[in-house]
Structure 1
Amino acid sequence: MKKPLILVTNDDSIVAPGIRALIEVMKEIGEVVVVAPDSPQSAMGHAITINDTITLSKVNLDKEIDKEYSCSGTPVDCVKIAVHEILKKKPDLCVSGINHGSNSSINVIYSGTMSAAVEAGIEGIPAIGFSLLDYSWDADFEPFKKYVKNIAQKVLKKGLPDGVILNVNFPKLKEKDIKGIKICRQAKATWVEEFDKRTNPMGKEYYWLSGEFVNQDKGEDTDEWALHNGYISVVPVQFDLTAHHAISQLNNWNL
């Protein structure tokens, strides 16, 4: 049987250990094409490049992959150029990650990893974003490879509802301590942000953004609850941002 065509991307750059781990798993499942940023693009959200050029460089980081490209653009650019210029067709699956750090709760809005997956979903491609709650470069992805493979194979076999993308987050745990997988909703949480104001040696002021993540959601059906209780969280997300529940209320305004 013909192997499925799988597009792999991320936001941490093409050399990040997370994407190299993801590539290893996807090679067991199908034919892999890699298009990923040439430098870190974390927190780029759904940004695209419109006021600059985009360059592609063919690389050979994995001798078993014929099509592997480093892209100067954003994660979303990577998906767009992969589909329209490199593949010339839609792949059977797009996987993004494995991200170094959490993309649970409100973080999904800022995430370059998830935005790449969402862009694939917009293109009509089944897509999954994978993230590990460990920001270190030498994070251990080994315990999660079997879960990545299982989830990807299930999506290939069963498909996803129209407009739905999976946001998968792994807790930072040893394999023996992982309790399983929970299908969740996104927790209601926010960042309480601060700007650290400083002055450079030339006397010019500049700022570093910092903040504290605050989870206001006490529900036990959320991604935050699952991750803090030893489970892998899987949240189905969508790119339709319509607040359907508010339409009837607005209709009563007689605008």
Structure 2
Amino acid sequence: MSERLILLTNDDGLWAPGLAALARAAAPFGRVVTVAPDRNRSAISSALSLHNILRLNEVGPDRFACDGTPVDCVLLGVCEVLKRKPDWVLSGVNHGFNLGEDVFYSGTVGAAFEGRLQGAKAAAFSMHPGGSLEQAEPWITRFLSRWETMELPPNRIWNVNLPKGEPKGFHLTGQDSRAYHDLVERRVDPRNTPYFWIGGDAGPTYAKAPGSDAEAVFHGFASVTPLRLDLGCPETLARQTDFDSAFNG
């Protein structure tokens, strides 16, 4: 069997400590090639640079900086650097959780989704902003040593979040829900012109529902959440009679 080919990326930038930790954790499993943004591109989801040129710079052996988004990095990594489908696409380790609805905004998760769209097994890794990469790294290695034994259906990825301290173990979880505070903050510049800051200063409040990703990490476990690219609503699709009555009656 040929050597496993592993593509790494993130949304915190090529020089982020979390990416270095992920590279060390992945190294025992194959050839690791990193293509990551040349600066922080957080909260950019699955954005593509359709209207800008992209530049790719080799900064070291199997290490490339791209001036695009995390999804751009995956596409350039597959099509230009590797020139074939990688076996794994790993994204992270993000400095901060990606729990609940965060996955819709996260560039970390967006890159993993793109990896799956390109035909690779894919996972996104995030951790408590006050957590220790030194503690997290062996648990990422442990996850990677075992994840292929639990095959996911097509168009699914794993979303892994690590707690602040040493994890007590892995929990298979669903998505929590969360509320952000001061989502749009209005400020005034020195010329008395208003401007707006998305995100504010207050962090999110998680529901911590039983069986959810947030419940797991706040109880000291590493949450492992399967996510699907298919956002369909099967419970509504099953209501064909109700639909016909409402729309075609």
Do both proteins adopt the same fold according to a TM-score greater than 0.5, normalized to the shorter chain? Answer: yes
Give me the whole-angstrom Cα distance separating, in 1, the residues matched to 2:183 and 2:156: 33
Instruction: Indicate conservation of the 8 Å contact 1:126/1:159, yes or no.
Output: no
* 2:212 equivalent in structure 1: 222
Between Structure 1 and Structure 2, how many residues are aligned?
Answer: 243
* 1:235 equivalent in structure 2: 225
- Gap change, CA 1:96 and 1:72, over 3 Å in 2: same
Q: Match for 1:165: what amino acid?
A: I
* 1:37 equivalent in structure 2: 37
* 2:179 equivalent in structure 1: 190
* 1:63 equivalent in structure 2: none
Q: Relative to structure 2, which stretch is displaced further, 1-10 or 108-117?
A: 1-10
- 1:112 aligns to 2:104 (yes or no): no
* 1:253 equivalent in structure 2: 243
Q: Relative to structure 2, which stretch is displaced further, 184-193 or 111-120?
A: 184-193
- Gap change, CA 1:18 and 1:212, over 3 Å in 2: closer
* 1:152 equivalent in structure 2: 144
Q: Following TM superposition, by how much is the alpha carbon of 1:122 offset from its aligned partner in structure 2, in angstroms?
A: 1.3
Instruction: Indicate conservation of the 8 Å contact 2:207/2:214, yes or no.
Output: no
Gaps of 5+ in 2: none
Instruction: Indicate conservation of the 8 Å contact 1:117/1:127, yes or no.
Output: yes
Q: Following TM superposition, by how much is the alpha carbon of 1:157 offset from its aligned partner in structure 2, in angstroms?
A: 5.1
* 2:127 equivalent in structure 1: 132
Give me the whole-angstrom Cα distance separating, in 2, the residues matched to 1:190 and 1:123: 32
Question: SS at 1:47's partner residue?
Answer: coil
Give me the whole-angstrom Cα distance separating, in 2, the residues matched to 1:249 and 1:193: 38
Q: Relative to structure 2, which stretch is displaced further, 156-165 or 104-113?
A: 156-165
Q: Following TM superposition, by how much is the alpha carbon of 1:248 offset from its aligned partner in structure 2, in angstroms?
A: 2.8
Residues 228-252 of structure 1, C-alpha deviation per residue, up to 9 Å, x if partnerless?
Answer: 1111100000111111111133652
Kindly report which structure 2 residues correspond to 1:30-69, keeping only aligned pairs within 5 A, or say none.
Answer: 30-60=30-60, 66-69=61-64
Give the ranges of 4+ consecutive aligned residues of structure 1 lying more than 6 Å apart after TM superposition. Answer: none
Q: Following TM superposition, by how much is the alpha carbon of 1:162 offset from its aligned partner in structure 2, in angstroms?
A: 1.1
Q: Following TM superposition, by how much is the alpha carbon of 1:196 offset from its aligned partner in structure 2, in angstroms?
A: 2.1
Give me the whole-angstrom Cα distance separating, in 1, the residues matched to 2:102 and 2:68: 21
* 2:2 equivalent in structure 1: 2
* 1:13 equivalent in structure 2: 13
* 2:117 equivalent in structure 1: 122
Match of 1:161 among 149, 153, 161: 153
| Structural RMSD (CA) | 1.7
Gaps of 5+ in 1: 61-65
Question: SS at 1:106's partner residue?
Answer: helix
Give me the whole-angstrom Cα distance separating, in 1, the residues matched to 2:149 and 2:35: 24
